[in-house]
C-alpha cells in the first residue's frame, strides 16, 4: 500500500461520523437518488447513481466500523481499497458530481448523500486522486490568492475601470466600514460590472463598505477538492482581513460555492464562530428591498426565467430572497418547473467546471440538457441567475447547443434599473 | 426430530436465540453507529419554520416532486408492502395473542381482511423484486444482500399464509417453518440493510437537522 493511499484511507476513517454510519446503515438500494441526479437522468448510466459514487467511503465504513465488516476483514473476506479503485472513482466523485445536493433532498430513508461526498473528497484529495484541473486551481489559490491566478494589481485595474464607469469611489482597506465585500475571480475577470453594481447600490443606500487588498477572493478550491487544511488557510485570509478591518458584516458574492465556503464551512474550518456576520449579497439586497430602499426607476421588459444556484438556494438556505428581488425589476418572471430548492444544477458546480479534460467537459454538456429543457419549457429567451460560476458554465453550454438565450446577473440587473 | 419437536424447538430455544440475537444485535449496532458522534456545527444557524430534523422525519415519507413518475414501483410498491407487512404482523389475531404473553392487547382485523392484505403484500413484493431486476439502476446497485433480505422478508409472509390456509405442508410443519423464517429475519435484521427499519429515523433526523441549520427544509 502506497503512503498516500494509507493516508487517504486514514482520512476517510476520520471522516466517518454518526450521521455517515447511520446513512450507510439505512440505504436500501432503492436507486431513487439516481432520479434526482442530472448526470444519471441525462446519460441513463447507472454508474452515476449518487449512492454508488460513495462506494469507497462505504467500504471503509463497513471494514472499520461494523462488527461483521471487521470480522470479514480479519478473515480476509473483504479487500482493502486500492489506488486503482480510487483512481477509477475520481470520475464519479468529481467529474460527475457537482455537490448540488439534489440527491440529499429525495432519499426516502433520509440520507444526506452530498454530506458524504464532501467527506469522500477529503480522502480522494489526500491520496492523490483529485483531477488535475482542480489541483491546479487549489494550488493557484494558495500560492497566488485566486483559482484563476488573479493578483491584486488586476483587481486594482478592475476597480479603476469601474470607478470610471460609475463615477463612484470604490473603497479599499477602509477601517471600520460596515461591510467587507468579497469577490470571486470569475467576477473580476468576466463580470467586473458586478463591482460597479455594488458601488451604485451602496452609494444609493448609504451603506459604508470596503474591499480588502489582503482578501478579495471568496471562492475556496480547497473545499471543492476536499483538502480541509488548504481550505482553512484560504478562509483564514478572509477572517483575518475582516477582523482587522473591524467590519460588522462580510458580504459573500453571488458565487454559490464561495457562499458555502465562507458562510457554512468557514467557522467549522477555523474551529470557532466568526466575530462578524456573513451575508449573501441577495440577502442584503432583499433586506434593502423590504425596507423600501431598493426602488427601481423602470422594469426590464423582456420575460425572464431564473436559474437558482444550488449552493446559495438548496444548500445555502437563501430561499426567499431571489424571486421577490427578481420580480422587483422584471415585468414578467416565468419560473421553471423545478425551481427554488428543487432547481437542477448548471452541471459545473463543486469544482467540476475547473476540470478541463474533454470527457468531463462533454459529460457536463450532456448533463446540461435537463436545464436546457426546463428553460425551453418556459418559452423565454432570457435567463437571470446569481452565481458567476453558473454563468460561465451556462454560457459555455448555450454556445455548445447554439442557444440564443441571454444570461443576466441579478445584482447587475437590479443596479441597472435602480432609481437615480 | 418429528414435526411436534420441530415446532417445540422453534417456539422454545429457537425463539430465545433469535430474539436474543435481535436484541443484542440492535443494541450493538445502535452503539456502533451512534457512538461515533459528530462535530458540532460552528456556523451561526439560520432558523426557518419547517426546517428541522423532526420535519424531515415526517416529510421523507412522501415522494419528492417528479419522482413518483420516474420510479412509480419504488413508491407505490414501497408503501403497499410496508403497510401490508405492518398490518399482517400487528393486526393478525394470532400475532396479537403473542403480545398478550407480555400483557399487551389490541384489536385485530378479521381473517379474510388479513388474507387479502397478505396476498397483496406478497404480490407487491414480487413486483418489487421484478423491478429490482428490471430497472437498470436497481439492478446495478443490487448485491447478494438485496436479494437475500428480500427472501428473508418474503418467506415469513408466504409461509404464514400457507400455514393458515393449510397448503403445501401439514399445518404443524408449516407453522414451524413459518416461525423459523421469522426467526431468521430477526437474526438478520441488525446486520443487514433490514436495519434501516431502525436507522431510518436517525438518518432522516440528521439530514433534516444538518440542513435545517442552514434554513433549508429538506
Within this chain, do residues A246 and A320 fall inside the same structural domain, yes or no?
Answer: no
Q: Does pTM surpass 0.80?
A: yes
Closest CA to A280 of A244, A308, A241, A303: A308
β A277-280/A209-210 pair status: unpaired
A215 has pLDDT over 80: yes
Residue pairs spanning A and B at CB distance below 8 A: 182
> How far, in Å, CA of A171 to CA of A169, rounded?
6
Cell numbers at residue B146, please? 438485496
User: Which site among A26, A61, A101 would you substitute to test the B interface, given the most B Cβ atoms closer than 10 Å to its Cβ?
Assistant: A26
Within this chain, do residues A16 and A121 fall inside the same structural domain, yes or no?
Answer: yes
Mean pLDDT, range A134-143, rounded to an integer: 92
Within this chain, do residues A258 and A161 fall inside the same structural domain, yes or no?
Answer: yes
pLDDT confidence of residue A106: 97
Within this chain, do residues A57 and A122 fall inside the same structural domain, yes or no?
Answer: yes
% of chain A exceeding 90 in pLDDT: 92
Q: Are A29 and B193 an interchain contact pair (Cβ–Cβ within 8 Å)?
A: yes
Q: Which of A288, A305, A334 is where one domain is finished? A: A288
B positions 180-199 inside 8 Å of A (CB) = 191, 193, 195-196, 199
Measured between CA atoms, the residue of chain B closest to residue A61 is B33
Domain that holds residue A151: 134-288
CA distances from A3 to A57, A82, A218 (A): 18, 12, 33
3-state secondary structure of A28: coil
Q: Are B71 and A46 an interchain contact pair (Cβ–Cβ within 8 Å)?
A: no
Q: Give the tens place of pLDDT for each residue, A274-301.
A: 999 999 999 999 999 999 999 999 999 9
Q: Are B60 and A107 an interchain contact pair (Cβ–Cβ within 8 Å)?
A: yes
ipTM over 0.95: yes
- Calculate the average pLDDT of chain A: 95
> How far, in Å, CA of A398 to CA of A386, rounded?
17
Within this chain, do residues A142 and A120 fall inside the same structural domain, yes or no?
Answer: no
Looking at the complex, report in whole angstroms how far the Cα of residue B34 sits from the nearest Cα belonging to chain A: 5
For residue A18, give the nearest of B29, B38, B66 by CB distance.
B38
Within this chain, do residues A113 and A19 fall inside the same structural domain, yes or no?
Answer: yes
Q: Are A315 and B136 an interchain contact pair (Cβ–Cβ within 8 Å)?
A: no
Lowest-pLDDT range of A48-62, A144-158, B81-95, B124-138: A144-158
pLDDT confidence of residue A150: 86
| B64 contacts in chain A (CB < 8 Å) | 32, 36, 105-106
Cell numbers at residue A343, please? 432547481
Within this chain, do residues A275 and A351 fall inside the same structural domain, yes or no?
Answer: no
Closest CA to A266 of B43, B213, B211: B43
Q: Are A49 and B74 an interchain contact pair (Cβ–Cβ within 8 Å)?
A: no
Cell numbers at residue A106, please? 429525495
Within this chain, do residues A319 and A412 fall inside the same structural domain, yes or no?
Answer: yes
For residue B44, give the nearest of A107, A110, A273 by CB distance.
A273
Q: Which of A288, A320, A341 is where one domain is finished? A: A288
Return the H-helix or E-strand segment holding A384: strand A382-385
Mean pLDDT, range A159-164, rounded to an integer: 95
| A239 contacts in chain B (CB < 8 Å) | none
- How many alpha carbons fall within 13 Å on the CB side of residue A357? 16
Query: How many structural domains are present in chain A?
Result: 3
Q: Give the tens place of pLDDT for each residue, A243-259.
A: 999 999 999 999 999 99
| A34 contacts in chain B (CB < 8 Å) | 137
For residue A25, give the nearest of B60, B70, B199 by CB distance.
B199
Residue B136 forms contact with A (CB below 8 Å): yes
User: CATH no. for residue A89?
Assistant: 1.10.1060
Within this chain, do residues A59 and A103 fall inside the same structural domain, yes or no?
Answer: yes
Measured between CA atoms, the residue of chain A closest to residue B60 is A108
Q: Which of A288, A323, A351 is where one domain is finished? A: A288
Looking at the complex, report in whole angstroms how far the Cα of residue B192 sits from the nearest Cα belonging to chain A: 8
B125 has pLDDT over 90: yes
Q: Are B39 and A17 an interchain contact pair (Cβ–Cβ within 8 Å)?
A: yes
Amino acid at each position: 500500500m502506497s503512503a498516500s493511499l494509507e493516508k487517504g484511507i486514514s482520512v476517510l476513517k476520520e471522516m466517518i461520523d454518526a450521521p455517515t454510519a447511520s446513512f450507510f446503515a439505512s440505504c436500501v438500494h432503492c436507486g431513487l437518488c439516481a432520479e434526482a441526479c442530472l448526470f444519471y437522468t441525462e446519460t441513463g448510466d447507472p454508474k452515476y447513481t449518487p449512492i454508488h459514487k460513495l462506494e469507497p467511503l462505504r467500504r471503509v465504513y463497513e471494514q472499520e466500523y461494523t462488527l461483521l465488516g471487521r470480522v470479514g476483514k480479519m478473515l480476509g473476506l473483504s479487500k482493502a481499497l486500492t489506488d486503482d479503485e480510487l483512481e477509477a472513482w475520481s470520475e464519479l466523485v468529481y467529474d460527475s458530481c457537482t455537490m448540488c445536493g439534489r440527491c440529499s433532498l429525495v432519499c426516502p430513508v433520509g440520507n444526506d448523500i452530498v454530506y458524504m461526498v464532501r467527506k469522500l473528497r477529503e480522502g480522494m484529495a489526500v491520496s492523490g486522486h483529485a483531477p488535475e484541473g482542480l489541483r491546479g486551481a487549489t494550488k493557484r489559490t494558495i500560492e497566488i490568492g485566486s483559482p484563476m491566478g488573479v493578483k491584486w494589481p488586476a483587481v486594482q485595474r478592475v476597480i479603476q475601470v469601474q470607478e470610471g464607469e460609475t463615477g463612484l469611489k470604490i473603497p479599499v482597506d477602509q477601517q471600520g466600514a460596515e461591510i467587507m465585500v468579497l469577490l470571486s475571480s470569475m467576477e473580476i475577470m468576466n463580470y467586473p460590472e458586478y463591482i460597479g453594481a455594488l458601488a451604485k447600490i451602496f452609494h444609493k443606500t448609504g451603506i459604508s463598505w470596503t474591499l480588502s487588498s489582503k482578501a478579495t477572493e471568496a471562492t475556496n478550491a480547497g473545499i471543492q477538492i476536499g483538502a480541509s487544511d488548504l481550505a482553512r488557510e484560504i478562509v483564514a485570509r478572509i477572517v483575518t482581513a475582516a477582523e482587522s478591518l473591524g467590519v460588522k458584516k462580510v458580504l459573500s458574492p453571488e458565487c454559490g460555492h464561495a457562499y458555502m465556503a465562507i458562510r457554512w464551512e468557514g467557522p467549522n474550518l477555523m474551529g470557532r464562530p466568526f466575530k462578524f456576520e456573513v451575508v449573501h449579497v441577495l440577502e442584503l439586497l432583499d433586506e434593502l428591498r423590504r425596507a423600501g430602499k431598493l426602488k427601481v426607476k423602470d422594469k426590464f421588459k423582456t420575460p425572464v426565467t431564473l436559474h437558482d444556484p444550488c449552493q446559495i438556494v438548496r444548500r445555502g438556505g437563501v430561499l426567499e430572497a431571489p424571486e421577490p428581488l427578481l420580480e422587483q425589476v422584471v415585468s414578467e418572471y416565468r419560473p421553471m418547473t423545478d425551481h427554488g430548492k428543487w432547481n437542477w444544477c448548471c452541471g459545473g458546480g463543486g469544482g467540476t467546471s475547473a476540470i478541463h479534460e474533454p470527457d468531463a467537459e462533454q459529460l457536463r454538456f450532456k448533463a446540461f440538457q435537463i436545464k436546457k429543457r426546463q428553460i425551453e419549457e418556459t418559452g423565454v429567451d432570457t435567463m437571470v441567475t446569481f452565481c458567476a460560476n453558473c454563468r460561465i458554465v451556462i454560457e459555455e453550454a448555450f454556445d455548445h447547443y447554439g442557444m440564443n438565450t441571454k444570461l443576466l446577473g441579478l445584482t447587475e440587473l437590479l443596479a441597472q434599473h435602480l432609481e437615480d | 426430530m418429528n414435526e411436534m419437536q420441530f415446532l417445540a424447538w422453534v417456539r422454545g430455544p429457537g425463539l430465545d436465540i433469535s430474539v436474543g440475537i435481535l436484541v443484542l444485535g440492535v443494541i450493538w449496532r445502535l452503539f456502533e453507529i451512534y457512538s461515533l458522534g459528530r462535530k458540532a456545527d460552528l456556523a451561526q444557524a439560520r432558523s426557518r419554520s419547517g426546517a428541522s430534523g423532526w420535519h424531515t422525519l415526517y416529510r421523507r415519507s412522501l415522494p419528492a416532486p417528479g419522482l413518483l413518475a420516474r420510479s412509480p414501483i419504488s413508491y407505490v410498491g414501497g408503501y403497499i408492502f410496508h403497510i401490508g407487512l405492518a398490518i399482517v404482523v400487528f393486526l393478525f389475531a394470532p400475532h396479537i395473542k403473542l403480545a398478550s404473553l407480555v400483557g399487551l392487547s389490541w384489536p385485530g382485523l378479521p381473517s379474510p381482511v388479513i388474507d387479502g392484505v397478505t396476498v397483496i403484500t406478497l404480490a407487491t413484493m414480487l413486483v418489487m423484486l421484478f423491478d429490482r431486476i428490471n430497472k437498470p439502476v436497481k439492478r446495478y446497485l443490487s448485491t447478494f444482500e438485496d436479494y437475500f433480505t428480500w427472501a428473508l422478508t418474503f418467506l415469513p409472509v408466504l409461509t404464514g399464509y400457507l400455514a393458515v390456509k393449510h397448503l403445501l405442508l401439514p399445518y404443524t410443519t408449516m407453522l414451524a417453518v413459518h416461525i423459523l423464517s421469522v426467526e431468521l429475519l430477526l437474526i438478520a435484521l441488525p446486520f443487514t440493510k433490514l436495519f434501516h427499519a431502525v436507522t431510518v429515523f436517525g438518518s432522516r433526523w440528521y439530514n433534516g437537522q444538518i440542513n435545517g441549520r442552514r434554513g433549508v427544509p429538506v
